[in-house]
Amino acid sequence: MRIQDVIPPLRLDRARHAAPQVFDTLRELIVGLALPPGTVLPRNELAERFGLSQTPIRDALMRLEEEGLVDVFPQHATLVSRISLASARQAHFLRRSLELEVVYLLASAPDADLLARLQGHIDQQARELAREDFSAFVAADRAFHHAMHVAAGVESLWQLQQRTSGHVDRLRRLHVPEAGKAQRILKDHQAVLAAIAAGDPAAAQARLREHLSGTLAQAEEISLRYPDYVIQD
């Protein structure tokens, strides 16, 4: 795989530091599996592709290493890491703990504007599924959950959660295209929305718990199908 074939040219926002923009671009490509586990990320080729010195590239790779998305072997190579089931389970635990409280809060005082926004995200997911655009489907999925955190006034916790989510997000990205998975996500989102709209916090939590159990319940099976991508720890 050639870096220039996968990584689009980066149009730098001169009002921002370069390293975070490189980090955001590489992270999106890694989580979306455009840069799959095992991909070598040569610093000099990345610098050439982004039109930057190696310093911001190094800083971006260090941040990716902190999130466990790359493995850095000093004086040798930097590779996209394999998906760690142990890390995915921990990220899932954090997400479930936070989001159960989010939906409880939202269902305790349903807001019509929020309900309309959430329905809009579900409708967008349905359109992307009809086009079989799973990258866009996953983006709309993320928007649905992000909107709930914003409405609950805990967007900073969403950002915290995202910093730990790389492994579970990649596991989910492997799972979503499988037959019936995307349809179940749509059904689950509609059920969560219905419980919030009904003002039923307990039901909202129950529907969310069911929704979030899907990919991790299939983790072992996914790892068997993708042995080059997934490790147990």
Task: Give me the DSSP letters along 157-182.
Answer: HHHHHHHT-HHHHHHHHHHTTSTTHH
For the domain that residue 18 is a member of, what is the CATH number? 1.10.10.10
Give Cβ neighbours of residue 82 (< 8 Å, ≥ 6 apart). 37, 38, 228, 229, 230, 231
Summarize the confidence of residues 124-150 as an average pLDDT: 96
Residues 138, 30 share a domain: no
**Cβ proximity of 49 and 4 under 8 Å:** yes
Domain count, the chain: 2
At which residue do the structure tokens 């389970």 appear? 89
Residue that is last in its domain, among 34, 66, 81: 81
- Over residues 171-180, the pLDDT tens digits come to 999 999 998 9
Residues 207, 97 share a domain: yes
- What the block records as the tokens of 120 is 């809009």
Residue that is last in its domain, among 81, 114, 138: 81
Write out the DSSP string of 178-202: STTHHHHHHHHHHHHHHHHHTT-HH
- What the block records as the tokens of 131 is 């086009």
**Cβ proximity of 148 and 111 under 8 Å:** no
Residues 201, 132 share a domain: yes
Residues 95, 210 share a domain: yes
- Over residues 77-90, the pLDDT tens digits come to 899 999 999 999 99
Residues 194, 166 share a domain: yes
Residues 124, 20 share a domain: no
Residues 93, 189 share a domain: yes
Could you give the CA distance from residue 76 to residue 229 in angstroms, rounded to a whole number? 21
- What residue ranges in the chain does DSSP mark as E strands? 70-73, 77-80, 83-84, 230-231
For the domain that residue 103 is a member of, what is the CATH number? 1.20.120.530
- Over residues 107-119, the pLDDT tens digits come to 999 999 999 999 9
Residues 99, 178 share a domain: yes
Residues 90, 201 share a domain: yes
Residues 105, 199 share a domain: yes
Task: Kindly report the pTM of this predicted structure.
Answer: 0.90
Q: Which domain holds residue 162?
A: 84-231
- Of 98 and 16, more confident: 98
Residue that is last in its domain, among 64, 81, 98: 81
